[in-house]
């Protein structure tokens, strides 16, 4: 099955919600490297890691039973910015575990950290600035998303490396 089909299935036929899973928990998605994931150097193409992370975010929402809450409102997630650091390569047949967690938020952006591991070895780590949009009303404020999922009323402080990244790429909230 191609990665795009895997993503579509994770989004439109989501896995069952995890009882007790909260928006501040880490979601885990396990996969394996397939022949179509490889580039001419016979390791996973960098774009495939991004697709694995897309699927990881879809599973994160499913773990929360989020589609049941988001779909009636017409809300959906988008990536506003991302930065990825590649530590080592994945090869054909190797297992990969995608870990997705929310680190914090500001009035506009939900900040996530996603990492991919092979066994206990970090393969890649990404900072993701996510937004929610509404099919009816444009942009959805991050605190409204957190409230929908019974998240904390206030964000934890962003780690300094993520806060610096958000400033550098221009997604950090700037009061007017």
Report yes or no on 132 lying in a domain: yes
Report yes or no on 70 lying in a domain: yes
Mean pLDDT of 4-28: 96
Rounded to 5°, the CA angle 85-88-93 comes to 125
Report yes or no on 174 lying in a domain: no
- How confident is residue 121, by pLDDT bands cut at 50, 70 and 90? very high
Report yes or no on 176 lying in a domain: no
**Which range marks the domain in which residue 118 is found?**
3-169
d(CA 172, CA 167): 5
**What is the rounded radius of gyration, in angstroms, for the C-alpha atoms of the chain?**
16
Report yes or no on 56 lying in a domain: yes
Mean pLDDT of 124-131: 98
Residues 82-108 pLDDT 10s: 999 999 999 999 999 999 999 999 999
Give me the number of domains the chain comprises: 1
Q: Using DSSP, state whether 95 is helix, strand or coil.
A: strand
pLDDT at res. 137: 84
Q: How far does Cα 137 stand from its chain's mean position?
A: 23
CATH number assigned to the domain comprising residue 152: 3.10.129.10
Report yes or no on 175 lying in a domain: no
Q: Percentage of the chain surpassing pLDDT 70?
A: 99
d(CA 160, CA 110): 16
d(CA 66, CA 11): 10
Report yes or no on 165 lying in a domain: yes
Closest to 103 in 3D by CA, of 114, 93, 95, 92: 114
């Amino acid at each position: 099955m191609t990665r795009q089909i895997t993503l579509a299935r994770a989004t439109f036929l989501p896995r069952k919600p995890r009882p007790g899973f909260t928006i501040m928990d880490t979601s885990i998605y396990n996969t394996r490297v397939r022949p179509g994931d490889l580039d001419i150097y016979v390791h996973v193409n960098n774009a495939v890691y991004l697709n694995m992370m897309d699927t990881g975010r879809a599973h994160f929402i499913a773990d929360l039973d989020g589609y049941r809450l988001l779909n009636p409102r017409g809300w959906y997630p988008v990536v506003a910015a991302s930065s990825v650091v590649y530590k080592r390569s994945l090869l054909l047949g190797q297992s990969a575990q995608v870990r997705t967690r929310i680190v914090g938020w500001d009035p506009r952006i939900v900040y996530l950290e996603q990492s991919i591991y092979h066994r206990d070895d970090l393969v890649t780590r990404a900072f993701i600035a996510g937004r929610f949009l509404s099919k009816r009303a444009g942009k959805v404020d991050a605190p409204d998303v957190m409230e929908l999922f019974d998240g904390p009323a206030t964000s934890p402080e962003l780690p300094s490396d993520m806060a610096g990244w958000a400033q550098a790429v221009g997604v950090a909230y700037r009061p007017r």
